[in-house]
Amino acid sequence: MQKDTNPASPNPVDVIEHWRDFAPDLAADKVLFSERVPGGCHWSWRLPRGVALRLTALEEGANLSVVLYSALEKLERYNMPDSLKAQHTAHYTRGHVLMSDMGRSMASIISDTVGWHDPLGLLLDAGRLEEKYGQHNYQQFRNGMYRSGRDGLLIEIGKYGLTRRDLVAPVNFFSKVAVDEEGRFHFAPGNAPAGSHVDLRLDMDVIVAVSAAPHALDPRVAYAPGAVGIAAWRCGPAPADDYCRAFRPENARALHNSDMLYLV
């Protein structure tokens, strides 16, 4: 018998099943992959319709800035004003959908333990980060360096040929910004306790870029971005009796417009 000179390892690559820690309720045969994004860090994926992302705040104070682009036509992207005005909302929770500038639902919030995610798109940039927290560069702090949410998202969308011209206003998951009668912002601390989670179903093929940098209005003096768990799982396209379709007639039409991309 020939000796196998290069046997397959039982664990050939260092895949860690993070989801078992932060999303153990997911069915093992549905989970596709999971990540633990450290506070302040960023990543991106190209993902197909019918996948859902479980986002879990692993620490209180976590913020996850998310932008979406169509993987089929990158000129189509998440549009904050279109999404807000169609749903008459200034917060996101279960039932809301994230709409593109082409009238399609890119993603739907199919479950949520938080109740309010910030859609106003405020984003920490390098200037404001340094002003608030000081400069923490790589030379001195190695991977404890600070990077703004804007810079993190620019790096990620740059991987797909998108530039600063293309960076859209993100959704800030886990954060809450209320607006008073004068129009002023009020950041709500402690909006999402550790373990809070939200499921985002992708209604079309998308590029998803995320940054776990602090929210631009986070009043904490110390730089303390929270880690976020992300698990991709197979949920299938929105069914006919979908909660988000029924949530508002506008959402039914936006999901219909997405369905029209997938005719056969």
209 belongs to the binding site for another protein (CB under 8 A): no
Cβ neighbours, 10 Å, residue 137: 10
Residue closer to another protein, measured from CB, 46 or 164: 164
In angstroms, the CA 231 to CA 233 distance is 6
* Element at 83 (helix H, strand E): helix 80-87
CB of 70 to another protein, least distance (A): 12
In angstroms, the CA 54 to CA 27 distance is 12
Using the rule CB under 8 A, give the single segment among 79-87, 137-145, 204-212, 222-230 that binds another protein: 79-87
CB of 192 to another protein, least distance (A): 15
- What is the dihedral angle through the alpha carbons of 163, 169, 171, 222, rounded to the nearest 10 degrees? 90
Candidate residues 82, 111, 237, 243; the one interacting with another protein per rule CB under 8 A: 82
35 belongs to the binding site for another protein (CB under 8 A): no
Binding-site size, another protein (CB under 8 A): 48
125 belongs to the binding site for another protein (CB under 8 A): yes
* Element at 233 (helix H, strand E): strand 228-234
x/- contact string, 94-123, with another protein (CB under 8 A)? -----x-xxxx-----------x---xxxx
Q: In what order do the strands lie in the sheet with 197-202?
A: 31-37, 228-234, 51-57, 197-202, 105-112, 97-99
CB of 232 to another protein, least distance (A): 27
Tell me the three-class secondary structure of 126-161, residue by residue.
Answer: HHHHHHHHCCCCHHHHHHHCCCCHHHHHHHHHHCCC
Candidate residues 17, 20, 81, 144; the one interacting with another protein per rule CB under 8 A: 81
| Paired strand residues for 45 | 208
Distances (CA, A) of 143 to 39, 42, 120: 11, 13, 30
Candidate residues 80, 155, 194, 224; the one interacting with another protein per rule CB under 8 A: 80
Residue closer to another protein, measured from CB, 60 or 125: 125
x/- contact string, 149-188, with another protein (CB under 8 A)? --------------xxxxxxx--------xxxxxxxx---
63 belongs to the binding site for another protein (CB under 8 A): no
Candidate residues 36, 94, 220, 256; the one interacting with another protein per rule CB under 8 A: 256
Residue closer to another protein, measured from CB, 42 or 176: 176
Cβ atoms of 105 and 244 closer than 8 Å: yes
Amino acid identity of residue 9, one-letter, is S
Residues 6+ apart with CB under 8 A from 246: 252
Phi (first) and psi of residue 118, to 5 degrees: -80, 115
Residue closer to another protein, measured from CB, 123 or 200: 123
Footprint of another protein on this chain (CB under 8 A)?
Answer: 75, 79-82, 84-91, 99, 101-104, 116, 120-123, 125, 127-128, 163-169, 178-185, 216-217, 250, 253-254, 256-257
